Structure formats: structure tokens, C-alpha cells
């Protein structure tokens, strides 16, 4: 990372401090609540050069019909100090019928106090007019960044937002009680660096509802993502040469100083770096699947690769095609797992417990997370308020995998191992905040949600059930589905009376 010459370092630090204080003093705060923006001490390997925004007004370009948001991120990363300076450009089109007076962004790293906003411009004009932190009727949303627009953004109007920000990564999981609500993956460990939910992004706007941004919670996912296009460049300023796992396909020479990755219609962009990653790969059609791992876990990592590839083929046939060119699985140096666009993490604990068979938690979770590339990535949902839409389908996709591979043995094992030990609960349509604890939340949303899918399939028959899932994917691909969408499309494929199932499993009528 660039640093100032010794003779001028003090003046550079003082100038940067003044710049940050100027932005802070100009930022309106919703009275009477104090601003609690996460700020970092100025001497964090920044210089005035790193906070310069290219404020040249972009040339007008034709606006396609309903274009996706476009994210361009230039990451200057110091591997040794676990710090980064990022120049981000967002080209956003208002696809709603409403005129927007402001934009709302989620900035997840503020939860761990690892984020500094250095500068911002709207349509090439620098601005310090923004509101960081926000109190609504329920709680303090500390990851909310609202940017009032200099001119209202009409339907189909387009705006360009430029943001320069700094990151000082935390140790994974080493958070305060409040910050423990944040990701247990973001940050660094002794072996790897994980950039997940690491950049400001514009949250979905829904006519009649407004901006969709919920508070973090102790379990479940709270974020909702629009499909967007990403172009991400990473330069390691300290000369490090780690192996990179990425949401996007690499479009640069892997030996180049700056590595570049792209993905279209992705929900979120994740990166993972490690000096000691090993990788095994497999091609499924024109898609390359990677399994990144640490020694001595080659056997388990290969099993993950095989289960991912096999379930990938099954889901492509049963549900519909996969839209990206790569899919990466990353062994986490932590006990957690999570899905992202074209990438998912596996907990290190289940690598330790792999027994060499398909009747194993490693396989079940592998095919579950692979299914999220259909139910989360292609068809998104409000994960805070309607988590059942992706989690019940991803869990039921485990059954689809097992019954295809070895129905007599593996399907019976799944129900015995995965479902029977837990108390069935209704309220499949609960919000993450209504879960009554992590285990009851899993029982409601994942397991009883999967049981609802099984009962629905039994009621309407295999042909109608899988025709419905294929149509649900086709109609909602690239969109954010709701429970109403689920049942609307379902009723296009069956006239069966399912009112008793809805009464049994759901707390709200549909």
C-alpha cells in the first residue's frame, strides 16, 4: 500500500485528518440521536492520494431496459496489515415507478468498526451530504447509509455514485456482543482473509414498502440483494501473492500484479485470500467448480467437490440452468458456513468429521449450499422477513439430491438423520426475529419448511411439483420473490386444495 515519504508523512496525516473531520462535521445527523459512525484513527496507511476521487463527469450512455446496478471496485489490499483502500463506483438505475429523493446503502463493516468513509461523489460532484446511522421505530440501524440526491431520480433515471473507503479487517469472530450480530466470516484468521458483505451496496427499493434493510440478528440472514453486475480488481500493495477464491470469473492473467474478476447478475461479491490454499477442480459442462482447502484435508475437499458437482448436475436438470461460469467452495478457518454468489464457505468442523460416505453432514451441507445458487442467487427473497423461501427449498433440495443418487438408502437416512431428531414446528413463514432461538429457528424455517415442500409434492404429484419449481425459477430469476409470488406461481400448476397444508405450516393465510 502506498505510504508517504518520511519527510512529508506528518503533513500528509494532518491533511488527511482534516479531510476526514471536514466530512464528519458536514454530515447531517438525525437529532437528537448522536452519530455513531464507525471511524478509524487517521494514521492507517492512508495518504491524500488514496482519498482522491475521479470526479470527471461520466459521458452519457444509453440506458437499457431495466438495467441492473453496476458495481466497479478497485481494491488496494495490504495482505500483511490486513488493510485496504477501495475506490467504488455504482451506476444505479431507478427501476421502480417512484421518484427517489435519496439512496439507501447497507455498509456491513460498520458493525465491526472496520470501515472508514473517506470521500463520496454523486455524478462526479463531491458531496459530504449523507446520513450514517438511522433510528427507526424499532431499533438503531448502524449499517444504514442514506445519501440525499442533488436532483430527484425519476423512474428509469440513472445516477453514478463514487465512494472511497478504507478497511481495517477484524479477526474473524473476535467481536463485541453487539458486533457478534455481524458476519462470523468477514475478517481474517491465521490462515485466510475473507471479504464478505464488505462494500457499501444499494439495498432494494420496493414500491409501497420503501428501502429493504433490516437489522442484523443472532441467527439467520438479514440482508436482501438486488441482482447486479460486478467488476472487481485487486492489487496486493505489499507484494504478497495469495491464492484468490472469488465470486466472479477471473478475466486477468493470474500472474498479473492486478487481478480482475467479473460476474453478471450476482447478488453479492465475495473474495477469500490465503497463501496456503490448495485447490481441486472439476468441469461440469462449461462451468468450472473449484474446491479450495488447507492441508491435510484433500480427501474431504475432493468429496465436497464431487458432491457439489453431482448436485449441480441434478439441480440444473430438475430446476433450470446455472447462469455463471464458475462455482467455488472455500474451506473456512472457522466453524460457520454461508452462501454467496458463485461461492460458498464450509465450516472446518465438518471437514474434520467426514467419514468417507454420502451419509455425512459434509455431503448434506455441500448439496444444501449448492442449492442456494438457485434459491438465493437466482431467485432472491427478503431473508430477514421471509427466510423460508430460500432455506426451505435449499433444505428440500438435499432430498432431491439423495433420492436421485440412491433413493432407497439415502432418502431414508436423510429423514432419520436430518429431520426426525428435532421437534416439528409450524410457523414456517416466521421472520428471523421470531425464531425463539437458533435451534427452533432452524426447525421452523429449514426442517419444517422442507417437510411442507414434501407434503406439497405428495399432494400435487411429482410432475406438477417440479414443473412448478422450474417455472418459479424461470419467472423469478433475477428478481426478489415473495411468499405471494410462490403461491401465485404454484396455483398456475395445480388446482389441488392445499388449504389444510397452509393452516398446518403457516401462521399467515396465503
Other Cβ atoms closer than 10 A to 275: 12
pLDDT of residue 387: 97
In terms of residue numbers, what domain contains 398? 380-505
Interval 332-342 mean pLDDT: 92
What whole-number percentage of the chain has pLDDT above 70? 83
Tell me, yes or no, whether 355 and 432 share the same domain. Answer: no
Q: Give domain status of residue 467, yes or no.
A: yes
Q: Encode pLDDT of 91-130 as tens digits.
A: 999 999 999 999 999 999 988 889 999 999 999 999 999 9
Q: Which residues, in sequence order, are CB contacts of 300 under 8 Å at separation 6+?
A: 293, 351, 354, 362
Tell me, yes or no, whether 329 and 187 share the same domain. Answer: no
Tell me, yes or no, whether 131 and 242 share the same domain. Answer: yes
The answer, yes or no, to whether residue 189 has pLDDT greater than 80, is yes
Q: Give domain status of residue 219, yes or no.
A: yes
Strand order in the sheet with 201-202: 131-135, 140-153, 100-106, 201-202
Tally of domains in the chain: 3
Interval 288-301 mean pLDDT: 97
Residue 346, domain CATH: 1.10.390.10
Tell me, yes or no, whether 497 and 429 share the same domain. Answer: yes
Other Cβ atoms closer than 10 A to 208: 7
Q: Tell me which H or E stretch contains 93.
A: strand 83-93
pLDDT of residue 149: 98
Pairing of strands 287-293, 326-331: parallel
Q: Give domain status of residue 62, yes or no.
A: no
Nearest to 466 by CA among 269, 315, 342: 315
Helix (H/G/I), strand (E/B), else coil: 478:
coil
Tell me, yes or no, whether 367 and 384 share the same domain. Answer: no
pLDDT of residue 55: 45
CA distance 86 to 118: 10
Q: Encode pLDDT of 461-473 as tens digits.
A: 999 999 999 999 9
Q: Give domain status of residue 510, yes or no.
A: no
Residue 111 grid cell: 458493525
Residue 247 grid cell: 465470486
Residue 162 grid cell: 463514487
Q: Tell me which H or E stretch contains 25.
A: helix 9-26
Q: Encode pLDDT of 486-495 as tens digits.
A: 999 999 999 9
The answer, yes or no, to whether residue 266 has pLDDT greater than 50, is yes
Tell me, yes or no, whether 256 and 300 share the same domain. Answer: no
* Last residue in a domain, options 269, 301, 335: 269
Burial category of 26 from C-beta neighbours within 10 Å (exposed 0-12, middle 13-18, buried 19 and up): exposed
Nearest to 361 by CA among 307, 397, 298: 307
Tell me, yes or no, whether 491 and 351 share the same domain. Answer: no
Q: Give the mean pLDDT of the chain.
A: 86
Give CA separation, 66 vs 114, 155, 156, 276, in Å. 34, 10, 7, 42
Q: Give domain status of residue 60, yes or no.
A: no
Q: Give domain status of residue 393, yes or no.
A: yes
Nearest to 84 by CA among 186, 3, 172, 165: 165
Q: Give domain status of residue 197, yes or no.
A: yes
* Last residue in a domain, options 371, 395, 414: 371
> Do residues 344 and 337 make contact, with C-beta atoms less than 8 angstroms apart?
yes
Distance of CA 338 to the CA centre of its chain: 9
Tell me, yes or no, whether 291 and 400 share the same domain. Answer: no
CA distance 495 to 509: 17
Other Cβ atoms closer than 10 A to 449: 26
The answer, yes or no, to whether residue 431 has pLDDT greater than 90, is yes
pLDDT of residue 358: 93
Tell me, yes or no, whether 252 and 391 share the same domain. Answer: no
What whole-number percentage of the chain has pLDDT above 90? 72
Residues linked to residue 243 through DSSP beta bridges, in sequence order: 274
Q: Which residues, in sequence order, are CB contacts of 231 under 8 Å at separation 6+?
A: 70, 71, 72, 73, 260, 261, 262
Q: Encode pLDDT of 127-151 as tens digits.
A: 999 988 655 545 555 789 999 999 9
- What single DSSP character describes residue 157? -
Nearest to 182 by CA among 196, 199, 167: 196
Name the least confident of 209-213, 304-308, 419-423: 419-423
Tell me, yes or no, whether 360 and 398 share the same domain. Answer: no
Residue 102, domain CATH: 2.60.40
* Last residue in a domain, options 269, 287, 314: 269
Q: Give domain status of residue 461, yes or no.
A: yes
Tell me, yes or no, whether 295 and 234 share the same domain. Answer: no
CA distance 100 to 500: 42
> Do residues 250 and 91 make contact, with C-beta atoms less than 8 angstroms apart?
no
Distance of CA 283 to the CA centre of its chain: 24
Whole-prediction pTM: 0.87
CA distance 286 to 291: 17
Residues linked to residue 244 through DSSP beta bridges, in sequence order: 273
Q: Encode pLDDT of 350-381 as tens digits.
A: 999 899 999 999 999 999 999 999 999 999 99
pLDDT of residue 162: 98
Q: How much helix, strand and coil, in percent to the nearest 5, is found in the chain?
A: 30, 25, 40
Residues linked to residue 330 through DSSP beta bridges, in sequence order: 292, 345
pLDDT of residue 508: 83
Tell me, yes or no, whether 326 and 221 share the same domain. Answer: no
Amino acid at each position: 500500500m502506498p505510504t508517504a515519504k518520511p519527510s512529508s508523512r506528518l503533513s500528509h496525516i494532518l491533511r488527511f485528518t482534516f479531510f476526514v473531520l471536514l466530512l464528519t462535521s458536514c454530515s447531517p445527523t438525525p437529532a437528537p440521536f448522536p452519530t455513531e459512525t464507525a471511524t478509524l484513527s487517521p494514521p492507517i496507511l492512508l495518504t491524500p492520494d488514496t482519498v482522491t476521487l475521479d470526479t470527471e463527469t461520466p459521458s452519457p450512455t444509453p440506458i437499457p431496459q431495466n438495467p441492473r446496478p453496476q458495481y466497479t471496485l478497485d481494491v488496494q489490499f495490504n495482505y500483511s496489515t490486513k488493510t485496504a483502500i477501495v475506490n467504488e463506483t455504482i451506476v444505479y438505475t431507478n427501476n421502480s415507478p417512484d421518484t427517489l429523493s435519496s439512496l439507501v446503502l447497507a455498509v456491513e463493516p460498520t458493525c465491526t468498526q472496520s470501515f472508514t468513509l473517506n470521500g463520496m461523489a454523486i455524478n462526479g460532484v463531491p458531496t459530504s451530504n449523507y446520513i450514517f446511522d438511522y433510528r427507526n421505530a424499532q431499533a438503531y440501524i448502524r449499517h444504514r447509509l442514506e445519501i440525499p440526491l442533488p436532483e430527484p431520480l425519476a423512474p428509469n433515471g440513472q445516477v453514478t455514485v463514487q465512494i472511497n473507503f478504507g478497511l481495517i479487517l477484524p479477526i474473524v469472530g473476535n467481536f463485541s456482543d453487539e458486533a457478534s450480530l455481524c458476519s462470523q466470516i468477514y475478517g481474517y484468521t491465521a490462515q485466510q482473509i475473507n471479504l464478505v458483505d464488505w462494500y457499501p451496496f444499494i439495498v432494494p427499493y420496493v414500491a409501497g414498502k420503501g428501502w429493504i434493510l433490516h437489522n442484523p440478528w443472532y441467527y439467520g440472514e438479514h440482508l436482501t440483494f438486488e441482482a447486479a453486475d460486478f467488476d472487481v480488481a485487486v492489487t496486493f500493495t505489499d507484494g504478497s501473492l495469495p491464492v484468490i477464491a472469488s465470486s466472479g470469473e477471473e478475466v486477468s492473467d493470474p500472474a498479473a500484479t492486478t487481478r480482475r474478476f467479473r460476474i453478471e447478475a450476482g447478488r453479492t461479491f465475495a473474495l477469500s485470500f490465503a497463501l496456503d490454499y490448495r485447490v481441486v477442480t472439476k468441469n461440469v459442462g462449461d462451468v468450472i467448480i473449484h474446491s479450495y482447502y488447507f492441508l491435510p484435508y484433500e480427501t474431504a475437499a475432493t468429496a465436497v467437490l464431487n458432491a457439489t458437482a453431482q448436485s449441480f448436475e441434478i439441480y440444473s436438470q430438475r430446476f433450470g440452468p446455472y447462469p455463471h461460469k464458475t462455482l467455488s467452495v472455500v474451506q473456512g478457518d472457522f466453524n460457520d458456513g454461508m452462501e454467496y454468489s458463485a461461492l460458498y464457505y464450509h465450516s472446518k468442523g465438518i471437514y474434520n468429521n467426514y467419514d468417507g460416505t454420502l451419509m455425512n453432514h459434509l455431503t448434506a451441507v455441500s448439496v444444501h449450499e449448492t442449492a442456494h445458487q438457485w434459491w438465493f442467487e437466482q431467485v432472491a427473497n427478503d431473508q430477514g422477513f421471509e427466510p423460508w423461501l430460500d432455506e426451505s427449498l435449499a433444505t428440500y433440495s438435499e432430498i432431491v439430491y439423495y433420492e436421485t443418487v440412491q433413493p432407497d438408502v439415502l432418502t431414508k437416512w436423510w429423514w432419520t438423520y436430518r429431520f426426525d431428531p428435532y421437534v416439528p414446528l409450524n410457523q414456517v413463514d416466521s421472520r428471523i426475529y421470531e425464531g425463539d432461538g437458533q435451534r427452533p429457528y432452524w426447525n421452523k424455517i429449514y426442517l419444517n419448511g422442507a417437510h411442507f415442500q414434501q407434503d406439497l409434492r405428495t399432494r400435487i404429484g411429482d410432475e406438477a411439483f417440479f414443473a412448478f419449481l422450474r417455472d418459479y425459477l424461470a419467472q423469478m430469476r433475477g428478481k426478489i420473490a415473495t411468499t405471494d409470488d410462490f403461491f401465485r406461481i404454484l396455483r398456475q400448476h395445480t388446482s389441488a386444495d392445499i388449504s389444510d397444508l397452509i393452516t398446518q405450516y403457516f401462521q399467515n393465510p396465503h
